[in-house]
Amino acid sequence: MPETVLHLHPGMPEASLRPMRERYELIEHSRASAEAGPLPEADRIRGVVTIGVIGIDRALIDRLPNLGIISCYGSGYERIDVAAAKARGIAVTSNTGANAACVADMALTLLLASVRRLGEGDRFVRAGQWTRPAAPPSLISTGLAGRRVGILGLGSIGEKIARRAAAFDMEVGYHNRRPKPGVPWAYHDSLAALAEWADILVVSCRSDASTRGIVDRAVLEALGPQGHVINIARGEVLDEPALIAALEAGTIAGAGLDVFEHEPQVPEALKRLENVVLAPHIASMTEAAHREMCRMTIDALDNFFAGRPLTNAV
C-alpha cells in the first residue's frame, strides 16, 4: 500500500509530478482548497510536498493527525510553519543547493541586464526609435570589470554568484551574520557598510523575520546614484515602497528583480519604470534544477517512510 502524500504545489511540472504519482497516493490540492475544503484523506496523509512561497500553516498541519514529514520542493521554506511542525515532531526538509547554480545564473543575468540597460535597449528597438547607425548616447552604461558587487547572504547560491561575478573581473564583498571561513572575498560586518562599499548589491539571503525589509531606504541611499540592486532571494527582504521611491528619484540607478513581496501581484509603479528589469520568479526554472529538486524531494519522503536518516532536514 503506497504512502499518502498531500501535494500543495499546483504549478509543479508534469515531469516532476509523474514519479511522485507512481510512488505515492498523491492527493493534489492548492493550499487554499486544502485549507477551506474537506480532506477525507486527512487521517491517511503522512507526508506533504509544498514550496516556500506556498508553504503550510499551523491550522492545516493540525488537520493532519498522522503527518510525519513536510518536504519542501525548493530551497526556501519561509511560509512553512517550522515551529508548529517541530512541536509535533514532524520533520521538515528542503532542497538546499538543488537550484543554486541556475539561481546564481539568474542573478548575473539580471545584473547584466540592469547595469547594461538591456531592457531599455530592447524597448528602444521595438518602438522603432533606432533610426541612426549608432545607438544614442542616452544608452551608454557602465561596464562590470572593476566594479564592486556586494552579496547579502553568502550561502550556496551567494557563493556561486560571487564566483561568477569574479569571472567578470568584479571585486566581490559580502555580508553574513558572521564571516564565512575559507572564502577569498572581503567580509563587511554590516549591511550598511556593504552597501556603502558596493556598486551593485545582490540580495541572496534567506527570508525570515530577521531579514524582512532589511534592504530599506537607508541601504539604498548608501548604495548611491550609480548603484544597482538585484533580488533573487524573496520579495519580503526588500522594502518595495522604498525601492520604488529610490528608482523614481534616482537615488539608485537601477534594479533587477525576480521576486516580489506579493507575488504574483507586481506594483504598477514598478511596471512603469524604465530603470528596472522584471522577471516572474523564474530563477530556478531550469530542467536540470527541477530534476534535482524532484529527486531530493522523493529521497526525503522515501527516507522518512523507510525510517532512514534525513540528509536535508531543516
Catalytic amino acids? 234, 263, 281
- Joined grid coordinates for residue 299: 529521497
Beta bridge partners of 313: 93
- What cell numbers appear for 298 in the block? 522523493
| Gap between the Cα atoms of 168 and 182, Å rounded | 21
First-to-final CA distance of the chain: 28
Contacts of 268 (CB under 8 A, 6+ apart): none
Say how many C-beta atoms besides its own lie within 10 A of residue 305's C-beta.
17
Q: Which amino acid is at 295?
A: R
Here the cell at position 229 is 540592486
The single-letter code of the amino acid at 109 is T
Nearest-angstrom CA–CA distance, 69 and 164: 36
- Distance between CA atoms of residues 252 and 67, nearest Å: 48
The answer to whether residues 92 and 72 touch, using CB atoms and an 8 Å cutoff, is yes
Query: What residue type is 271 in one-letter code?
Result: K
Alpha helices in the chain (DSSP H): 14-23, 31-36, 58-62, 82-87, 100-115, 118-126, 156-167, 191-197, 217-223, 240-249, 268-272, 287-306
Distance of alpha carbon 107 from alpha carbon 299, whole angstroms: 28
Q: Is 175 strand, coil or helix?
A: strand
